[in-house]
Structure 1
Amino acid sequence: MNREIQQVFNAQPSMDGAGVAIHRVAGFEKAAMDPILMIDELRSEHREDFAAGFPPHPHRGMQTLTYMKHGGIIHEDSLGNRGEIQSGGAQYMSAGKGIIHSEMPTQDTAGLHGFQLWFNLPAAQKMQAPRYRDLPVTELAHLAGRGFNLTAVSGDWHVAGTSNLEGPLSELAPQAALADLNLEPTVELTFAVQLEESVMVYIYNGDVDLGGNSYGERQMLLFGAGDTVSLKGGIHGAGVLLLRGRPIGERVVHYGPFVMNTEAEIEEAIRDYQSGRFAA
């Protein structure tokens, strides 16, 4: 059964880091987005919109995945990790019990277009050791077909009429998946999903046509029940992020960069950070 759209959200303009202009879709209280907590899109041709970047700041209890379409980002953290990704690459970090990191644009970046996604961690994994991984564009999985291009970062992608594609990032929990799809105008693509999964599509370029309705840039589409999703490129074609994940189904308590299950755990995270007990 093909899934139908149940909800549509518009990304809202906001600021983060040291004054970086972003558009954000927040899903901390949206059960239909579980296990995805948030999507930020960073997109500007003007360096002053993002030059100050994201100076050192803490996290606990969640994972981040940064995916760059254009431009470069440098990651550094309190575990001594340092990584740089350029156009088409991705960076993964599980904050676990606590980490401090920064994300700054490379000096040669004049324009920037990318995404940072927050994924929840189950309670049993929130206090595990932090992890980090770089994924340059050459490590990602790519599939080109008639009228479409698909790049898989995480998860298995079963596209009708083609061979399956598996993203290299297996660390995302629980069984979360991310792919980048570009569709030419009027081209339709169907991919398989698991019945228990949350399924979302974020449109970052052009428009898609679903059931005679058009949806455009910076809209997040949440789908209902079913085992397939079909997308059709609109008159301008489309660039979209495909997102899936098995819901965790646990209470989410969020305060700034900390995502836990109870208020007491948030208070503990703040105390641990202020007293210097985060990973170092």
Structure 2
Amino acid sequence: MSTREILAISSGRATSDGAGVRLTRLFGGAAPERFDPFLMLDEFGSDNPDEYIAGFPPHPHRGFETITYMIEGRMRHEDHLGNVGLLESGGVQWMTAARGVIHSEMPQQERGAMRGFQLWLNLPSKSKLGDPDYRDFAPAEIPRITLPSGIEAVIIAGQARAEGIDQAGAVQRPDTEPQLFDLRLPAGSSIEPQLPDGHRLMLYVFDGEISVAGKRLGKNQLARLSDQGELQLASSAGARVLLLAGRPLGEPIVQYGPFVMNSREEIEQALRDFRDGVLTD
């Protein structure tokens, strides 16, 4: 049996989005095919309210899904569909923009830490102009398990299989079949998550350090791995890791800001629809 190997390691870049929220863009932008079906991953984390308080005022999306995982903090969602939700520590917001959503995400705190991730997941061409959808998941709705090795896992999406445990996540999706886990490895632990061959795989270490098939991956490092074989993770001193895996769509990816379609013509149509006020009809 082959072993999944690290293909590339990166550390992201500091940037800002929304009305000036400071964040680290771990991937996104150039050459999105490398991460297919994932389009972008942002990490936000600060205890300085000046770096997050302005939030993300109303803005549009079309053609993909956004997943926000709040580790610490409180954020209010509102959209043109009438959805209102409060994302709190340990919760997840899953929004399918499809043909169009205009929404805002605004902090509901004036002090303290705000920390989490936002992931953009592509939709197949057949679903890009489908009906939009939105759901908040409270922490109690997201499976949290402790494996025999002592490793704790938050199973946001997909199916976690390891150490004889088979646990469905809070969300299942066709086509891209995303796997999204938050893994907390105690010192001296190891794990071999079972993932489908052919699925794109990334690991992001946001606390501590791990070894992947014997190769070190340190704090704030993102690894893109090979698509075949067994995954072997271990941590000598303890770590917290975000695991992302999904089935590549293999379709053209054309992005212009908050719109992700399959052709330039479709992007131009999205811009016209937004300008003419019919993006969300």
Among 156, 160, 170, the alignment partner of 2:159 is 156
- C-alpha distance in structure 2 between counterparts of 1:56 and 1:180, whole Å: 29
Cα offset for 1:11? 1.2
Cα offset for 1:278? 2.0
Residues 161-196 of structure 1 show CA distances to partners (whole Å, capped at 9, x for unaligned) of 231111021247521121100111221111111111
Q: Which residue of 2 aligns with 1:6?
A: 7
CA contact (8 A) 2:201 2:227 kept: no
- C-alpha distance in structure 1 between counterparts of 2:105 and 2:194, whole Å: 34
| One-letter identity of the residue aligned with 1:155 | G
Cα offset for 1:108? 5.7
**The residue matched to 1:192 in structure 2 has which SS?**
coil
Q: Which residue of 2 aligns with 1:91?
A: 93
| One-letter identity of the residue aligned with 2:177 | Q
Q: Which residue of 2 aligns with 1:243?
A: 244
Among 78, 81, 84, the alignment partner of 2:83 is 81
Structure 1 residues 111-120 or 185-194, which shifts more?
185-194
Residues 200-242 of structure 1 show CA distances to partners (whole Å, capped at 9, x for unaligned) of 111111111234432122221111132321111143x111111
Aligned length in residues: 278
- C-alpha distance in structure 1 between counterparts of 2:4 and 2:177, whole Å: 20
- C-alpha distance in structure 1 between counterparts of 2:177 and 2:214, whole Å: 32
- C-alpha distance in structure 1 between counterparts of 2:108 and 2:167, whole Å: 31
- C-alpha distance in structure 1 between counterparts of 2:258 and 2:32, whole Å: 18
**The residue matched to 1:191 in structure 2 has which SS?**
coil
CA contact (8 A) 2:212 2:231 kept: no
- C-alpha distance in structure 2 between counterparts of 1:225 and 1:272, whole Å: 38
**The residue matched to 1:174 in structure 2 has which SS?**
coil
Q: Which residue of 1 aligns with 2:67?
A: 65
1:17 correspondence with 2:18: yes
- C-alpha distance in structure 1 between counterparts of 2:107 and 2:39, whole Å: 24
Change (3 A) 1:186 1:246: same
- C-alpha distance in structure 2 between counterparts of 1:157 and 1:228, whole Å: 14
Change (3 A) 1:79 1:186: same
**The residue matched to 1:265 in structure 2 has which SS?**
helix
Cα offset for 1:37? 0.5
Among 49, 52, 59, the alignment partner of 1:50 is 52
In the superposition, the TM-score normalised over structure 2's length comes to 0.95
Cα offset for 1:30? 3.8
Q: Which residue of 2 aligns with 1:125?
A: 127
Change (3 A) 1:176 1:233: same
- C-alpha distance in structure 2 between counterparts of 1:107 and 1:279, whole Å: 30
In the superposition, the TM-score normalised over structure 1's length comes to 0.95
- Note the residue ranges of structure 1 that are not aligned, 5 or more in a row: none
- Note the residue ranges of structure 2 that are not aligned, 5 or more in a row: none
| One-letter identity of the residue aligned with 1:203 | V
Change (3 A) 1:274 1:12: same
- C-alpha distance in structure 2 between counterparts of 1:272 and 1:239, whole Å: 42
Q: How does 1:137-176 map to 2 (within 5 A)?
A: 137-145=139-147, 146-159=149-162, 161-171=163-173, 173-176=175-178
Cα offset for 1:249? 0.3
Q: Percent identity?
A: 38
CA contact (8 A) 2:75 2:106 kept: yes
CA contact (8 A) 1:154 1:172 kept: no
Ranges of 4+ aligned residues in structure 1 off by more than 4 Å: none
Residues 240-266 of structure 1 show CA distances to partners (whole Å, capped at 9, x for unaligned) of 111110000011011100001111111
Cα offset for 1:26? 2.4
Residues 9-44 of structure 1 show CA distances to partners (whole Å, capped at 9, x for unaligned) of 221111101000000122452433110111000001
| One-letter identity of the residue aligned with 1:25 | L
Residues 66-86 of structure 1 show CA distances to partners (whole Å, capped at 9, x for unaligned) of 001111111110111011111
Q: Which residue of 2 aligns with 1:104?
A: 106
- C-alpha distance in structure 2 between counterparts of 1:49 and 1:143, whole Å: 33
